Amino acid sequence: MQVKTFEAVSFKDAVKAVKQEFGNDAVILSTREKSAEGRPNVKVVEVTAAAANSSRSIAGASTSAASGNQAAAVSSAKLDAVFERIQKRIESLESRLPSSRRLENLEGSVHDLKLLLLEVLRHNNAGVEQSLHPAAGDVIRMLLHGGIDETLLSKLSNNLSKLAAPKQDSSTSPEAWYRDHAIRWMLKQISISPRWESLPGGQAVHCLVGPAGAGKSTLLCKLAAQFSVREKRKVLIVSYDAVRLAASEQLRVYAKVLDIRFAAIQQPGELPAVLSRNQDCDLVLVDTTGRPVKQMQILEDLQQLKSSAPSVEFHLVLSAAEKAPVLDSAVRMYSNLGIRSLAFNKLDESWQFADVFNIGAKWGVPLSFFGTGPELPDDVERASRERVVEQIFGLSR
C-alpha cells in the first residue's frame, strides 16, 4: 500500500502535494496541525494520504466478499473520523471570524479546510469511491468557491456522479450539461412559502422575529405598504417592543402616513384584545424586539404571545450580511416557535445568495421575502427559488 505523509504551511498546499504525488483520486487518511521541526512557534499541516490504486488493490486482494466489506468498513470509519475533525475545525474557525484581528488569515484557513473537506467527502460514500466527470468537478469547485455548504455539495456530487456521461456529439458542452443538472438539483432543495392571503372571515396574523439589526421594522413597513396600497388589504400594524420606544413611534408615524391602523402592546397577553378590537382588519403585521442582552426573555415572551394568540404565524428575519454561523444560530434559537418562513434582509449589502440557499436547504424552512435595499416601499420582493439559484450561478442581471 502506497501511503505517504505530507507537510505544508497550509491545507491547500498539502492537498496540492498529495495530488502531485498520487493524482486527483488520492485518498486522504488523516490530517493534523503541528509545530514545525526545530521551530516550535511555526505551525505546519500534516496530511497522510494513500494512492487510490493502492486502496483498490487492498480491497480486491482478498477473494472473500467478507474481507472486502471489512476493508471498506475500516476505510469508511477512518474517513468519518477525518470528516468530523475537519468539520469541527471549520466551525471553530468560522465562529472566531467576526472578532478576530487575523480575519484574512483565518478566512484563508477556513477556505483551505473546506477544500480539504470536500476531497474527503468525495471518497466518503460507504467506502466506495464515486467517479466524477471532470466537468462535474468544475461545477462543484465553482459552487464551493461561491460559498455553498460542503455537506450539500457532497450530496450534489453524489447525485452528479450517478448520471450517465453526456454524449460527445451533443451540442451542449459537458460543463453546461452538468451545470444544468446541478441547477435542477439545487432548485429542489429549497421551497417558497405560500402568499399571505386573507383568511375567509378572519384575520391573518404574521409576526416578524429575529436578531437585533436584522431589519425587522423596515421590512414590516415595506410589507405594510405593499399589502395596503398595492393589494388593497386592510392592514393593522402592531408594535410589541417595550424597549425601543423610538422604533415604536416610527411605526406609528409610518402607519399614519399610509392611513392604516396602529397599536402598541407591552405584554403578550394584550394581543388578543387588540385583534378583537380590529376584527375588520384582514392582515395583522406584528413587529418585535431583538435585543441580544435579554434574548432568553424575548423567546419566553414570544412563546406567551403564541399561546395567547394561536393564529399568529412567526417569520424569522435574517440579515444576509451576517456570517453563516450567526445565521445558523439564529434559526436554531427561534426554531421552537415553529417558524413558518425565512425572510432575508440587506441583500443589497451582500448579494451573497449562497447562505440563503444553505440555510433554506439545511433547515427546510420556506423562504418568503427578500429585502433588497433601503427604499420604502419598493425594495422588497417575493422570494423565489429561481432568483436564489440564478444569483449563485451568476445568471441574473
pLDDT tens for each residue of 382-396: 999 999 999 999 876
Q: Can you state the angle between helices 134-145 and 174-187, rounded to 10 degrees?
A: 50
Concatenating the DSSP letter of every residue in 112-180 gives: HHHHHHHHHHHH-STT-PPP--HHHHHHHHHHHHTT--HHHHHHHHHHHHTSPPPPTT-SS-HHHHHHH
Is residue 390 within 8 Å of residue 239, measured between CB atoms? no
**Separation between Cα atoms, residue 232 and residue 260, nearest integer Å:** 11
- The share of the chain scoring above pLDDT 70, in percent, equals 71
Is residue 263 within 8 Å of residue 311, measured between CB atoms? no
**Separation between Cα atoms, residue 12 and residue 262, nearest integer Å:** 56
**Separation between Cα atoms, residue 56 and residue 350, nearest integer Å:** 45
| Secondary element (H or E) of residue 33 | strand 27-36
Other CB atoms within a 10 A radius of the CB of residue 386 amount to 12
Residue 359 phi, psi (nearest 5): -65, -45
Residue 379 phi, psi (nearest 5): -80, 60
Amino acid at 89: R
Query: What DSSP character marks residue 269?
Result: G
What is the residue-averaged pLDDT of the chain? 79
Report the DSSP beta bridge partners of residue 265: 240
Other CB atoms within a 10 A radius of the CB of residue 197 amount to 11
- In the structure, what pLDDT confidence band is assigned to residue 358 with cuts at 50, 70 and 90? very high
**Separation between Cα atoms, residue 305 and residue 122, nearest integer Å:** 47
- pLDDT tens digit string along 291-343? 654 567 788 889 999 998 888 999 999 999 898 899 999 999 999 999 999 99
How would you list the strands of the sheet with 380-382, edge to edge?
261-265, 235-240, 283-288, 204-209, 312-319, 341-345, 367-371, 380-382
H helix runs in the chain, sequence order: 11-22, 52-61, 65-96, 103-123, 134-145, 150-161, 174-187, 216-225, 245-258, 271-277, 295-308, 324-334, 354-363, 385-392
Q: Is the pLDDT of residue 102 over 80?
A: no
Per-residue pLDDT, 69: 42
Per-residue pLDDT, 89: 61
240 or 80, higher pLDDT: 240
**Separation between Cα atoms, residue 84 and residue 306, nearest integer Å:** 38
Per-residue pLDDT, 119: 54
Cβ-based burial of 23 (10 A; exposed 0-12, middle 13-18, buried ≥19): exposed
Q: Which residues contact 250 (CB under 8 A, 6 or more apart)?
A: 217
Q: Is the pLDDT of residue 149 over 80?
A: yes
Is-above-0.85 flag for pTM?
Answer: no
